[in-house]
Amino acid sequence: MINLKKNVIIGILIVVILGLIASYLLAPKYSTESTNIMKVAFEAQVKVSEYIGKLRSDTFDVYTVEQLITSYRDLEKEEKEVIKDTSGKEISPLVSTEDGDIKEKDETKYYKANMSNFATILNVQLINDSNLTWYLSDSGVIKLSYKVKPNWWTDEFEVMHIN
């Protein structure tokens, strides 16, 4: 009878310890992922805002944010004219304007981020995850889209979500 009690107590303790170890190992993974995504998103947003502000100032506020992030004067024209800075150098796009890379929601256009240009122009390495896609709105706001909602995605991220 005493051995049975000891075995039951030991069994319960083992289950509790394994549960604590599992929660310890799994919890940091989700919080680290979400923290990294949020950190990169905020850093990218600051750099996008600075970049757009500098370009608007350098070009005497002639171009809209949408024109600056796409680098085209008029996206509707068949032959697109690339915007140049004051030194005559073509402005590189932060986004893709290819069919399928543009989403529209509530009269706002969201362009798929050009990850290599984000890295070279803004010196921001966006997290490359096959489940996540980075977008930049026509007003310069960063949004994220996912194929399958990640486990670490919380309500705090909903403000950054675009379908």
Distance CA 115, CA 82 (A): 20
CB 135 within 8 A of CB 112: yes
pLDDT in tens, the chain (163 residues): 677 777 777 778 787 787 777 666 665 555 677 788 888 999 999 999 999 999 988 888 889 999 999 999 887 777 888 998 888 889 999 999 998 899 999 999 999 999 999 999 999 999 998 999 999 999 999 999 999 998 888 888 888 998 8
Distance CA 9, CA 15 (A): 10
Phi, psi of 134 (to 5 degrees): -90, 135
pTM over the 0.95 mark: no
